[in-house]
Chain A
Amino acid sequence: MKKSVLFGLVTAAIFSTNVQADTLEDVKKAGMLKCGVSTGLAGFSQKDEKGNWSGLDVDVCRGVAAAVLGDASKVSYKPLTAKERFTALQSGEIDILSRNTTWTATRDTSLGLNFAGVVYYDGAGFMVNKKLGIDSALKLDGAAACIQAGTSTELAIADYFRENNMKYKVVTFETSDQTRSGFESGRCDFLVSDQSQLYSLRIGLKDPEGAVVLPEVISKEPLGPVVRQGDDKWFNIVKWSLNAMIEGEFQGVTSANADEMAKSGKPGQKRLLGSEGDLGEKLGLSADWAHQIIKQVGNYSESFERNVGMGSALKISRGLNAQWNKGGILYSPAMR
């Protein structure tokens, strides 16, 4: 798979002369949205026994598919490791990368990619074996860390230990499953990853109770969907599809009441759902684009609770990811 990704990039770089991309047209023509996801991360993107993908990141793709194609199920998922993800997007193998990817300045400016927003405000943290009896990351001097290769966490942990004048050993694995196996076997004392992933990895342990997540959050890890640079139309569609979900929660529009609100809602709700105004047309989509997103996928709150929140095994509280008027920092720009 990796080879094909690299090969794809190289051939794309070598032979294509047309750089004027129109992803919207391509997606419509194919009738399918190609979405890059993780190789399996509970709550964000994971496949069940029947081969159906679910998760918060998956819902972003489903939302875009609903907006563009009118059907949230028209998504083909491409599982990617942390290392493969950007190359897959650059080479056009996927239309959108929605794979718990941290928005950093370097990535935004040097990879030929654009981050279309934040779907989950995260931060790197630590998971340790309960037996060690450690309650703070500052007591980890001299410990060994398991970490996944090609993540921004690799940099965050180096910074953290340097800042605090502590030493550590790092064992870098390729996938998050291998990282977990390494932690489980005792190869390392603690596992570093985004906090959300720690919870997700923890429930995958043989003995979830034997591990604790430390309170320290050592970095900013805003996770969001990514698209190729130079296709602003597509960039807008992804950005506003995500905003529609956030705005949907803010306006109180849910998958259950969307149809009704479109007819008899407040002006803001009607504008969002496309029964008033022409937002859809301006985006190059049908008038009911956001209506389809919310009806088929749900608003942000529905997706959050179903995948990572109280309705899921992860039981992560909203925290930073609550609406701005409810103690969080989730804020959609004005839908008008």
Chain B
Amino acid sequence: MQTNKSKNSSATPKAAFYNRAEVRSVIFQVIVFLGLAYFFYTIYNNTMTNMEARGIRTGFGFMSQPAGFDILLSLIPFEATDSYGRTFFVGLLNTLLVSAISIVFATLLGFLVGVSRLSSNWLVAKVATVFVETFRNIPLLLQIFFWYFAVLATLPGVRDSISVADSIFVNVRGLSVPKIVWSDGASIVFYALLAAIAGAFFLSRWARKRQENTGQPFPTLWATLGLIIGLPLLTFLIAGSPASVEVPKLEGFGFKGGMTLIPELVALTVALSVYTAAFIAEAVRAGVQSVSHGQVEAAAALGLPHAKVLRFVTIPQALRVIVPPLNSQYQNLIKNSSLAMAIGYPDLVAVFMGSTLNQVGQAVEIVFMTMMVYLLINLTLSMFMNWYNARIKLVER
């Protein structure tokens, strides 16, 4: 066989340069690439030429022009005199804000419901099933409308606010709570918090090492929690309480001072969290059920209590099944957050593809930018989730 083959190859004349497999593959790739590049160039060129011929302004010059309109919620200082470019970042940050909060809540709620569906308690399992089947099967937009126009809009007006201890107020304009105003010398508290977090990190590493070596457990959760809360608190008291509380007060048309959580953000967060949690719950259920029952029984036979069986046996193995669909759900949530516009939450689509687009009128540029942003956010998230997935996947020793 070996000899036969070598004989053959030496017998046939060397293939022509353009017939060699590796050369061909390169040639075809170059051709495809050039073709694609030409295709996209034609699209770009045609778009520009046609828009110019129709007298539509093109380019990104508008980004530095003053916007001239106001925005309900902004994480960075924003005024009507700021540029259109800044409206882009205001919208982007608002999108990231609502997505981040919703992802946290959706995950917590999803895990809770997913595990509850497998509960041996009949009532708990049924309630979880009803939750999943209800929220998974109603269009998200309707749910957003429901939370905003049917639930939050029925709250009392500003003057009839529901108040708790005269410092927390709930009304149709949102939730007003007292704000902590830091005074001079408060920075030491933040340093203490940073130190506590670092300390907690090293403590838990040490505890894990010790347990691996000696088998002695350590109450890591309580210790780290105590450290993170206790140290800054202690510093705060020693530094002489360098902070004051600003209570919201009804003045003129609304509440002044304090912090206000706007109902648009609440409605959107609730709708996104609940809707996505229903899907996450199913992924969690699938993950938990994928762990063979023998493992749980073996762990129980070793004398591990139920909580530890979950923590050390079931969940680590279930996560391998849960994480990939979880990634998709997170990405869906981020994309779904663009429904914000329907209830007036100023996200990227509402602000930039809404107000800015209409004032400027350059649809092609603005829509392109917005699409790229969602793509970039989701690719970044995907990269992180893939990294996490690789970390938790089964390591074969």
Contact = CB atoms under 8 A, between A and B. Distances in A.
Given A14-B43, A142-B252, A149-B350, A170 B149 contact: no
A165 B70 CA distance: 14
B47 A170 contact: no
A151 B358 CA distance: 7
B158 A169 contact: no
Nearest to B360: A110
A230 B50 CA distance: 12
Most A CB atoms within 10 A — which of B51, B70, B252?
Answer: B70
B144 to A, nearest CB: 12
Interface string B52-71: 01111100000000001111
A172 B153 CA distance: 15
A112 B367 CA distance: 18
A140 B252 CA distance: 9
B253 A144 contact: yes
Contacts of B355: 149-150, 154, 172
Given A186-B158, A228-B54, A162 B80 contact: yes
A316 interface: no
Given A9-B363, A86-B358, A155-B68, A186 B157 contact: yes
B359 to A, nearest CB: 7
Nearest to A85: B358
Given A142-B251, A158-B70, A172-B344, A13 B46 contact: yes
Given A171-B264, A186-B158, A16 B359 contact: no
B248 interface: no
A216 interface: no
Nearest to B174: A187
B232 interface: no
A110 B253 contact: no
Nearest to B42: A14
B364 interface: yes
Contact of A112 (B54, B157, B256, B354): B54
Given A143-B253, A170-B71, A182-B344, A110 B56 contact: yes
Interface string A1-33: 000001001101111110100000000000000
A140 B367 CA distance: 36
A17 B46 contact: yes
Interface string B83-108: 00000000000000000000000000
19 contacts: A13-B50, A14-B43, A86-B358, A90-B363, A106-B361, A111-B361, A112-B54, A143-B254, A155-B68, A168-B70, A170-B69, A171-B344, A172-B350, A172-B354, A174-B341, A174-B354, A185-B153, A185-B154, A230-B54
Interface of B: 43, 46-47, 50-51, 53-57, 68-72, 80-81, 149, 153-154, 157-158, 172-173, 251-254, 256, 263-264, 341-344, 346, 350, 354-355, 357-361, 363-364, 367
